[in-house]
């Protein structure tokens, strides 16, 4: 997408696409302005012209979560779990994340000198970590992973679109049912986990609604998995391209800086959407109240107005005020966790392999245009 972004930043930094019926915004300063102003630019699709509320008690529960709510409800909902995701709390998880990473690496490095980095490592790790934080018992982990897979998967070749939608809906319902049972259990016996935090929390003396609790469970699962997977995978690709793998192995400080550059250069989340709450004129174009806007984080992150040699991957780039985790009110809640997982995953992996190469195969991009990554990434290495 990067050539397209560059062209658009020059030619049409704010433009309406009649096919998708949305506005696109490409420049760094405009991205920042929009994400910083939740009075004029709402995060809730409910404010879009022609929006129809999905029918059913548990349909569209994500609409009730912090991700798709404006202040004041946003701040109240985020307040319930903010402490659990603070850098300080997350730092304490490092030994446990290292242990889970090591267990996984023991399994996969055992049988050969080539792995698919995505399916064998970068994908399972964040699922295991968030399952544990939520409070999913170890024995349900496999089942949990199946649901998580299904939700992010695309249709397989031998099924029709309708069959795919039906299968996904079935999985969604099974997972919702599972979470509801877990919620009930934790109401009776609260534990030290996120589901307990959600079911026992009160805002102004009132518990969260059923939809808010269920939606938040699903949000934490969905928001953190495929994104972190792609951060780890995009990092390996980028390090390999500039021959930085050996240099970064064993140097966690340099690795931490390089991960920020991956978030900029190959942002796992390329775009977010907003809805205009009033008519807004930018670069001579008028966005009307109720119009939907796609805010291209991935383009802002390549804007030469903000970054020198923006199209170059520079592992030691500082400062690096990228939008990889968004900006403003909805700045990623899970950023400290994602950073820690990526650092531990890459540092453990690189300490156990050497001479990493990525075979010259055609890489298949992820199927969603908002998510940047590849479906699989074979890597070859020597075991240390
Ligand atoms: C929000 C990216 C990992 C939970 C966001 C946003 C971005 C983002 C761009 C802003 C959304 C917006 O402005 O509309 C990423 C990336 C990740 C990652 C690139 C990994 C590399 C995680 C993890 C979790 C998480 C691990 C939790 C387990 C959330 C939540 C929000 C959010 C709850 C909504 C925050 C709010 O509305 O206040 N993320 N994320 N994310 N992310 Fe992440």
Which residue ranges form the domains of the chain, and what is each CATH number? 52-265+329-383 (1.10.630.10)
Task: Report the relative pairing of strands 202-203 and 206-207 from DSSP bridges.
Answer: antiparallel
> CA-CA distance, 294 to 16, in Å (whole number)?
10
Higher pLDDT, 154 or 245: 245
According to DSSP, the β-strands at 280-282 and 271-276 are unpaired
Instruction: Report CA(195)–ligand 1 centroid distance (Å).
Output: 18
Q: Are 43 and 67 in contact (CB under 8 A)?
A: yes
Q: Is the confidence at residue 100, as pLDDT, over 90?
A: yes
User: H or E segment at 236?
Assistant: helix 210-241
What pLDDT band is residue 224 in, cutting at 50, 70 and 90?
Answer: confident
Q: Which atom of ligand 1 is nearest to the CA of 339?
A: 21
Q: What average pLDDT does this structure show over 223-235?
A: 92
Atom of ligand 1 nearest to the CA of 221: 28
Best residue among 125, 223, 322, 337 to mutate for probing ligand 1, ranked by most atoms within 8 Å of CB: 223
| Residue 36 binned pLDDT confidence (cut-offs 50, 70, 90) | very high
| Dist CA 292 CA 369 (whole Å) | 17
Q: From the CA of 360, how far away is ligand 1's center (Å)? A: 32
* pLDDT reading at 158 higher than 80: no
* pLDDT at residue 148, as a whole number: 76
For ligand 1, residues with CB inside 6 Å are 35, 43, 66-67, 78, 130, 219-220, 223-224, 227-228, 231, 268-269, 272, 324-326, 330, 332-334, 337-338
CA-268 nearest atom, ligand 1? 19
Please enumerate in sequence order all residues whose Cβ is within 8 A of that of 323, keeping only pairs 6 or more positions apart, or say none. Answer: 28, 31, 32, 35, 267, 297, 300, 301
The DSSP code sequence of 294-305 is EEEHHHHTT-TT
Q: Which residue, judged by its Cα, is nearest atom 6 of ligand 1?
A: 332
pLDDT score for 98: 97
Residue nearest to atom 26 of ligand 1 (CA): 224
Which pLDDT score is estimated for 152? Answer: 66
Write the residue with the smallest CA distance to atom 25 of ligand 1. Answer: 334
The mean of the pLDDT values for the chain is 92
Of all residues in the chain, the percent with pLDDT exceeding 70 is 98
The pLDDT of residue 160 is: 72
The least confident of 154-168, 279-293, 331-345 is 154-168
Q: 324: CA distance to ligand 1 center in Å?
A: 9
Lowest model confidence (mean pLDDT) among 80-94, 107-121, 136-150: 136-150
- To test the pocket of ligand 1, the residue of 332, 333, 366, 371 to mutate (highest count of ligand atoms within 8 Å of its CB) is 332
Q: Residue 180 Cα, ligand 1 centroid: separation in angstroms? A: 23
């Amino acid at each position: 997408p990067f050539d397209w972004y560059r062209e658009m930043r020059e030619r049409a930094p704010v433009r309406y696409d009649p096919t998708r019926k949305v506005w696109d915004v490409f420049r760094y300063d405009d991205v920042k302005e929009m994400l910083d102003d939740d009075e004029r630019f709402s995060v809730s699709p409910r404010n879009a012209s022609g929006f129809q509320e999905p029918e059913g008690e548990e349909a569209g529960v994500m609409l009730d979560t912090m991700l798709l709510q404006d202040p004041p409800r946003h701040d109240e909902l985020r307040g319930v779990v903010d402490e659990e995701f603070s850098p300080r709390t997350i730092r304490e998880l490092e030994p446990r994340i290292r242990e889970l990473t090591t267990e996984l690496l023991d399994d996969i490095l055992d049988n050969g000198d080539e792995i698919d980095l995505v399916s064998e490592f970068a994908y399972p790790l964040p699922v295991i970590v968030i399952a544990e934080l939520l409070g999913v018992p170890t024995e349900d982990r496999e089942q949990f992973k199946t649901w998580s897979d299904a939700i992010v998967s695309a249709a397989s070749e031998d099924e029709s679109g309708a069959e795919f939608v039906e299968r996904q809906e079935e999985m969604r319902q099974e997972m919702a049912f599972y979470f509801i049972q877990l919620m009930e259990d934790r109401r009776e016996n609260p534990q030290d986990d996120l589901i307990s935090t959600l079911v026992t929390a009160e805002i102004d003396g009132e518990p969260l609604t059923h939809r808010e609790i269920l939606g938040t469970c699903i949000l934490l699962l969905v928001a953190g998995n495929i994104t972190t997977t792609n951060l780890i995978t995009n990092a390996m690709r980028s390090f390999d391209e500039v021959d930085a793998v050996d240099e970064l192995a064993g140097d966690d400080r340099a690795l931490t800086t390089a991960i920020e550059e991956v978030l900029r250069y190959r942002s796992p989340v390329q775009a977010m959407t907003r809805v205009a709450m009033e008519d807004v004129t930018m670069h001579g174009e008028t966005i009307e109240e109720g119009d939907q806007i796609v805010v291209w984080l991935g383009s802002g992150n390549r804007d030469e107005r903000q970054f020198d040699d923006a199209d170059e991957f520079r592992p030691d780039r500082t400062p690096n005020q990228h939008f990889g985790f968004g900006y403003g009110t909805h700045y990623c809640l899970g950023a400290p966790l994602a950073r820690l997982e990526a650092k531990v995953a890459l540092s453990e992996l690189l300490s156990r392999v050497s001479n990493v190469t990525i075979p010259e195969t055609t890489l298949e991009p992820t199927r969603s245009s908002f998510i940047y990554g590849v479906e699989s990434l074979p890597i070859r290495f020597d075991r240390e």
